[in-house]
Every structure is written in structure tokens, then in C-alpha cells.
Chains A and B, each alone.
Chain A
Amino acid sequence: MDDLKKTPLFQTHLDLGGKMVDFGGWALPVQYSSIIEEHKAVRERCGLFDVSHMGELDVRGKDAFAYLQKLCTNDLTTMTPGRCRYSMLCNERGGVVDDVLVYKHNDEHYLVVVNAGNADKDYAWFKEHLFGDVRLENQSPQWAQLALQGPLFMQVLEAAGFEGEIPAKNYTFTPSMKVAGIECLVSRTGYTGEDGVELYCAAADAPALHKALMAAGTPLGMLPCALGARDSLRFEASMPLYGHEMTDEITPMETNIGFAVKMQKEDFIGKAALEAPAKRRRIGLKLVDRGIVREHYDVYCNGKLVGFTTSGVPVPTLEGSHAMALVDVACAEAQDFEIEVRGKKLKAIQVPLPFYKRA
């Protein structure tokens, strides 16, 4: 663990009995109790995640809006202060550099939250494309981030106590409020498919905030949840994960997240490349034969190799083994497929995405 990066909650993870792993250079737990129990806790009650490894880039200046409009595929024009917007950053080929959440403080001040594994790459990309009156600051080391997700999240917050308004609408945020007496930025966002919030606080405050939320949530059946459950939850909700459903070789259209790409925008990096029709599409598959499908297995249709699985996680709350796959657009409407699992071709059928949607 010595040469790995540590979040401010490293000791908390050890104290909670977290099974620590190397997650892209970060020392983080893959589970505390059981991935399945943690997954179920989020779906049925509540879960608390350390996501402090995410990166935070602060963008300020008179040209902040124009600058972000150039880098982001989504249109930030209609954002009012206190809104968050999901977007991709594309390269000139239309491939994805990262998927990000843009938080708007005001017309001249934004916070961009990026994937942990891409933080350095994204910061370099942002610097490379800097123009005009824009000041960029990599604030990642200053921020800790917790995710509180599940149907009981408001009850947990009420038990912990807060001053200010918990954002009421999805994809909005309160820039400054107190939760358990601790100064936080709170957004109504998440990566589990359940309702909930993400709380950003000063790194030094993270252990106290985590402890307060644990004290408030444990009597309600909340569990601390780790990377394994984070992956199984987002997979069940069919949310794309960078490095799997999106890479610098896969376009957002292929990933089927065109809602975050606004082609009517005058210009953004990658727009020209995205004019061409998509050659592949992300679909959902479910095994008919017995087995477990995971990522990077070959997918066949009518005997022909047509693509590969991008993610496959056995989720016991989903009956059967599911996978997301990227396949040739020609067979994107097909019903019957085969997936090669450890040398054997297993029968699978296409199923609609998302696999799970909360009621």
C-alpha cells in the first residue's frame, strides 16, 4: 500500500475492515463486508462511498463558458448557477477523453469533476486547449468526496443534521451548506441508479463527515460501500464506465449517450468526426446458457464476430448473467448472439438497456 495514493479516508477504510486493493494507483477498498450486501444496501436502504479519488478542476474567467463549450460535447448554454451537466470531452477523432460532470457556480466560474483514472490526462488536456481569459486550477488534492446513495439518503442526512438546502432536483447542487456541522458542496448526483447526493468537503474534514454519516445511517441500515458495489450498481443501472463503454477509440454515439452530445452547437472538439454515422452501438446482452459473462469477451452474431463485451458483472439482484457490449451497427437490432466465455460459445439474447431503473 506504500506506493499507492491515499484518500483522506484511508485510515477509515482500514478501521472499517476494508479489503484494500490497488485501484489505478489508489489504495481503496473493494469491499468492507460483501459486495452483494453492499449492493443490496444501496438498492434497499442506503450506502456511503468514499469517492475522493475523483478529480476536481476549477475553471474561472470571462471566457470560462466559451472555453468549456469548446471542450465539452454537451451544451452548457442553458445552465443556470447551481446546475450540473453531464458531458463528454472528445478528441479530434470523436473518441472520448473522459466523461465529466460540469458544475456551474456562475458564468465565469465552473467546477469540472473528472474520473480519478483520467485526472492527470484531463488536466493536461484542459491546459493544452486553454484560450482567452481562463484560469485553471487542479483542486483535486483539496477536495474529498463522499457519495450517499439509496432511498433512505434523506433520512440519513436528517439524522446527521444539516443547515441549508439539500438540492431538490436531480443535477443541481448547493455550493455551500453544512452537513453534520461540516462545510460541504452537495449535489443531487450519483453513479448508482438510486436517488442520493454527493458531498464535497475539504480533505481534512472527510473523516469527521464520514463518521457523522455512519453514526446517522447505521441505525437505518446504511452500510459503508466500496468499489465492488460501486461497479455492480452502475453496471446494473447500465451506466457507462470510462475505459469500458467509453474510451478514446469509442465515440459517444457508439456508446449510445448521444443525449450528452449537442451537434447543433456551433463547434466543439470532435464535432466534425461525430458527423459520420456510428459504425457500432452499445447493447445489452443476457446469457441464455449457464455461465458468467465478463468484459472483453468476443461477441458473435450468425456465426460472425461482431464485437466484444465492455462490461460484465454478476449482479444477483438481476436474474441471469448480463453484459454490455459494443457491436457492429448492422446487428444492433438482432435478438440472438453468442458470447465466447473461456473458449466456449454461449448463447445470449439482446435485452434492453438499462437493466435496472429505479421505480
Chain B
Amino acid sequence: MIPNDRKYTNNDEWLLEENGQIKIGITDYAQHELGDIVFVDLPGIGDSFNAGDDFAVVESVKAAAEIYTQVTGKVVAVNEALNDQPDLLNQDAFNNYLAIFEGTIDGEVMDADAYAAKIAK
């Protein structure tokens, strides 16, 4: 089930607009592809990024995956729980954001139906 309340990217991130801020996370498909997630490298609060920049790294046993933002703006919060429990992303990817941004979605995003079609291929 791909939640309708958010946007998606080609790199399997989701963006959820809430209270004027944008939460970014990885999709359930992404966590499944990665396998057991063992480490998350989160950005610093206050760090600025342009749409298309990588802002975090999610590492599984076998691989390290760069995570990209499609927001031009700055990080106002990060999900600290992921430091000690990176496997939360495996358990519930849609309800565990990586970081919260303030800014504008400048980059390429798609809606839930388009994303569902992409991962079905």
C-alpha cells in the first residue's frame, strides 16, 4: 500500500508536507531492497541543501545508499531514534522519517500512483 498523502522520488524517497514543513523518508520498497538496515548517517540540524543533493546515508549489511532531498532548504529536525535503532526503517519505513526540512520542493517528485507503477515494473 503506497500512502496517498505524500510525494515520491525515483530514488525511493517519500516527501510528506506537514505544518509548513517537509518530512523525508525512504519507502517500504527501499527498505526491502536494502535488507537489514544497520546504520543511518543523518544530517546536522541547520544544514542547508539544494534539491537533488544527498543529505543522508542509509546502510544495510551489504550496501550503503545515499538519500537525496528534492527540497531546497534547511534541516530543522532529524529522527534521532534511528541512531540507536536503524532497523526502525525496516519495521515501518513510512512512519519513520529521516529528517524534517523547511523550504520548497524544487526537484522531481511523483504522486503515489506513479510511484506504485514505477516499483511494479
Contacts and interface: CB of A to CB of B under 8 A. Distances in A.
Interface in B39-94: 39, 41, 57, 59, 61-62, 64
Nearest to A39: B61
Interface in A311-337: 313-314, 316, 321
A232 B36 CA distance: 12
B64 A35 contact: no
Contacts of A80: none
Q: Is the interface of A mostly helix, strand, loop or mixed?
A: loop
B35 interface: yes
A205 B59 CA distance: 39
Given A291-B41, A292-B64, A34 B35 contact: yes
B39 A292 contact: yes
**Per DSSP, are chain B's interface residues mostly helix, strand or loop, or mixed?**
strand
A30 B62 contact: yes
Interface in A27-78: 30-31, 34-36
Contacts of B59: 292, 314
A253 to B, nearest CB: 31
B61 A228 contact: yes
Interface string A221-237: 00000001000100000
A314 B59 CA distance: 9
B36 A34 contact: yes
Contact of B61 (A19, A35, A291, A342): A35
Nearest to A314: B38
A135 interface: no
B39 A35 contact: no
A19 B59 CA distance: 18
B39 A36 contact: no
Contacts of B61: 35-36, 228, 232, 313-314
A288 to B, nearest CB: 15
B35 A228 contact: yes
A294 interface: yes
Contacts of B41: 291
A292 B38 contact: yes
Contacts of B39: 291-292, 314, 321
B44 to A, nearest CB: 13
Task: Tell which of B36, B38, B39, B61 has the most Cβ of chain A within 10 Å.
Answer: B61
Interface string A208-249: 000000000000000000001000100000000000000000
Given A36-B38, A316-B36, A321-B39, 18 more contacts: A19-B35, A30-B35, A30-B62, A31-B35, A35-B36, A36-B36, A36-B61, A228-B35, A228-B61, A232-B61, A291-B41, A292-B39, A292-B64, A294-B64, A313-B61, A314-B38, A314-B39, A314-B59
22 contacts: A19-B35, A30-B62, A34-B35, A34-B36, A35-B35, A35-B36, A35-B62, A36-B36, A36-B38, A228-B35, A228-B61, A228-B62, A232-B61, A291-B41, A292-B64, A294-B64, A313-B61, A314-B38, A314-B39, A314-B59, A314-B61, A342-B57
